[in-house]
């Protein structure tokens, strides 16, 4: 197995998640849920949300000052020494990450995420310290492989997205190398690449062997939708054209027209496809991108003053949402305005109680913590801020 985590733990975690969803939509009852949880205890360590943020922050502090300490001790002063230093730090972060996960099975615990990112940042720093020929191309190529490895090893969605971004940058830089010719075709190549990435992720989603990478694939798909659009957005194409391609040739009118059409066509297509497939990912992305398209056109052509546009836009939004609320009061075409389960809060409290029952006790026994009587007092009724 290539994962750093034990198969059983990952599987149990996934079962817990799915069971939790089923419980929240009231597909399974409390007794069933409890039974499933009891049979699928996972050793993966994921603390409370706020604790995770604090752990991440503190890890940043520890890594940062450790780096400075190593720098002082090594006395690195020239570029080569810095390259060596950064590579050492990158490897150190990665090694600590492996050791910690092996010992404690940290999983999205804040500190594993930070260590992963630090390992990447140090590696990039090592590459960019010196100015070699094609340095940026090589860096992005290495990043594709390294992030992909981190994604596979730690089943991490963010790393999957980084790997894809690296690939995107790599292809873009390749296009830049081709100068004027590259400028004309770069958007289309990037669009094709994003479409392929989307399809590949879609294919991987269906593979049962890759069950644990479901989230990674979804994350990449979302990013692919966004970058597919960004590749053809008129503003992005225009700005990138003047920034990265030395040739200051004005865009041919036909090409400009194509980009403008794509800028609006893509979000609309997303929304329509999402409505057809009942896929909220497409609908939400489509709406956000459509708004960006409107801002884009406003940037170039100001037919009306901003405030009038805002007024009209706001009115349209209110009318549309009001009509939709009325229309979807009873479910139609597979959509509903109903907040799926209005008694979600009670369900969440019940869920918290069950989880505390199943896992709270066994954990306490293992570690021998004494709670001085009050252990059931906080059983879910208090706010968990």
Partner 1 sequence: MEIFEQLHQQNFITQKQLDKIKQQQPVSVHWDIRTLLYLGILLITTALSIIVYKNIDTIGHTAILIAIGIACAACFMYCFKKTNRYQHAKVESPNILFDYILLSGCLLLLTFIGYLQYEYNVFGNRWGLAVFIPMVILFFCAYYFDHIGVLSIAITNFAAWLGITVTPLQILKQNNFGDTHLISTGIILGAALIIFSIITQQKNIKAHFAFTYKNFGVNILFIALLSAMFNYDNIYLVWFLIIMAVAYLLFNNAVKQNAFYFFVITVLYAYIALCYVVIELLTSVGGDMGVIYLGLIYFIGSGIGLIRLLMYYNKKLKDDAGI
Nearer to partner 1, 179 or 379 (CB): 379
**How many whole angstroms from its chain centre is CA 53?**
16
Q: Tell which one of 200, 255, 281, 287 touches partner 1 (CB under 8 A).
A: 287
Give how far Cα 285 sits from Cα of 43, 239, 266, 317, Å. 35, 23, 10, 17
Query: Which distant-in-sequence residues (6+ apart) come within 8 Å of 273 by Cβ?
Result: 279, 282, 286
The verdict on 209 binding partner 1 (CB under 8 A) reads no
CB 184 within 8 A of CB 255: yes
Burial group, residue 231, by CB count within 10 angstroms (0-12, 13-18, 19+):
buried
Give CA–CA dist 15/17, Å, rounded: 5
Question: What is the closest distance, in whole angstroms, from the C-beta atom of residue 91 to partner 1 in the complex?
Answer: 18
Q: Which range touches partner 1 (CB under 8 A), out of 140-148, 188-196, 257-265, 370-378?
A: 370-378
The verdict on 329 binding partner 1 (CB under 8 A) reads no
Nearer to partner 1, 46 or 238 (CB): 46
Question: What is the closest distance, in whole angstroms, from the C-beta atom of residue 302 to partner 1 in the complex?
Answer: 14
Check residue 384 and report its DSSP letter: -
Tokens of 150: 């981190």
Nearer to partner 1, 69 or 257 (CB): 69
Question: What is the closest distance, in whole angstroms, from the C-beta atom of residue 70 to partner 1 in the complex?
Answer: 10
The verdict on 27 binding partner 1 (CB under 8 A) reads yes
The verdict on 103 binding partner 1 (CB under 8 A) reads no
Give CA–CA dist 24/62, Å, rounded: 39
Q: How many CB atoms lie within 10 A of CB 248?
A: 7
Query: Which distant-in-sequence residues (6+ apart) come within 8 Å of 289 by Cβ?
Result: 226, 229, 266, 267, 270
CA atoms within 13 A on the CB side of 121: 11
Check residue 358 and report its DSSP letter: I
Q: Tell which one of 77, 78, 250, 382 touches partner 1 (CB under 8 A).
A: 382
CA proximity to 140, closest of 115, 95, 92, 177: 177
Q: Tell which one of 247, 257, 276, 320 touches partner 1 (CB under 8 A).
A: 320
Q: Binding to partner 1 (CB under 8 A): which residues in 114-143?
A: none
The verdict on 273 binding partner 1 (CB under 8 A) reads no
Q: How many CB atoms lie within 10 A of CB 56?
A: 17
Tokens of 380: 């879910």
The verdict on 46 binding partner 1 (CB under 8 A) reads yes
The verdict on 297 binding partner 1 (CB under 8 A) reads no
Nearer to partner 1, 134 or 336 (CB): 336
Nearer to partner 1, 299 or 369 (CB): 369
Name the β-bridge partners of 269: none
Q: Tell which one of 54, 145, 180, 181 touches partner 1 (CB under 8 A).
A: 54
Question: What is the closest distance, in whole angstroms, from the C-beta atom of residue 293 to partner 1 in the complex?
Answer: 15
The verdict on 36 binding partner 1 (CB under 8 A) reads yes
The verdict on 30 binding partner 1 (CB under 8 A) reads no
CB 123 within 8 A of CB 92: no
* Total residues at interface with partner 1 (CB under 8 A): 88
Q: Binding to partner 1 (CB under 8 A): which residues in 152-191?
A: none
Give CA–CA dist 333/268, Å, rounded: 19
Nearer to partner 1, 116 or 147 (CB): 116
The verdict on 72 binding partner 1 (CB under 8 A) reads yes
Q: Tell which one of 2, 133, 254, 340 touches partner 1 (CB under 8 A).
A: 340
Nearer to partner 1, 242 or 302 (CB): 302
């Amino acid at each position: 197995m290539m994962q750093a985590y034990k198969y059983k733990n990952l599987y149990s975690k996934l079962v817990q998640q799915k069971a939790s969803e089923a419980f929240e939509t009231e597909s399974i009852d409390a007794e069933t849920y409890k039974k499933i949880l009891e049979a699928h205890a996972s050793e993966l360590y994921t603390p409370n949300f706020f604790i995770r943020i604090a752990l991440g922050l503190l890890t940043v502090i520890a890594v940062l000052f450790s780096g400075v300490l190593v720098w002082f001790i090594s006395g690195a002063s020239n570029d080569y020494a810095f390259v060596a230093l950064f590579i050492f730090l990158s490897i150190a972060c990665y090694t600590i990450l492996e050791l910690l996960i092996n010992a404690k099975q940290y999983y999205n615990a804040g500190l594993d995420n930070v260590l992963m990112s630090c390992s990447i940042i140090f590696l990039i720093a090592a590459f960019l310290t010196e100015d070699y020929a094609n340095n940026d191309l090589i860096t992005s190529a290495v990043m594709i492989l390294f992030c992909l490895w981190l994604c596979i090893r730690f089943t991490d969605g963010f790393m999957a997205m980084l790997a894809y971004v690296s690939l995107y940058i790599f292809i873009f830089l390749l296009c830049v190398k081709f100068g004027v010719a590259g400028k004309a075709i770069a958007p289309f190549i990037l669009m094709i690449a994003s479409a392929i990435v989307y399809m590949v992720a879609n294919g991987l989603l269906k593979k049962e062997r890759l069950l644990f990478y479901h989230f990674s694939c979804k994350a990449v798909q979302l990013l692919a939708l966004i970058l597919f659009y960004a590749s053809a957005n008129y503003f992005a194409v225009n700005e990138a054209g003047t920034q990265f391609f030395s040739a200051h040739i004005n865009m041919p009118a036909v090409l400009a027209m194509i980009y403008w059409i794509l800028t609006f066509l893509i979000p609309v297509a997303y929304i329509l496809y999402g409505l057809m497939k009942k896929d909220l990912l497409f609908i939400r992305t489509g709406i956000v991108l459509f708004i960006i398209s409107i801002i884009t056109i406003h940037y170039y052509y100001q037919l009306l003053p901003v405030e009038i546009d805002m007024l009209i836009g706001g009115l349209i939004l209110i009318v549309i949402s009001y009509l939709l609320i009325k229309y979807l009061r009873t479910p139609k075409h597979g959509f509903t305005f109903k907040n799926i389960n209005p008694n979600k809060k009670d369900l969440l409290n019940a869920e918290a109680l069950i989880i505390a029952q199943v896992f709270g006790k066994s954990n306490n026994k293992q570690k021998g913590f004494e709670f001085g009587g009050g252990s059931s007092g906080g059983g879910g009724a208090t706010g968990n801020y």
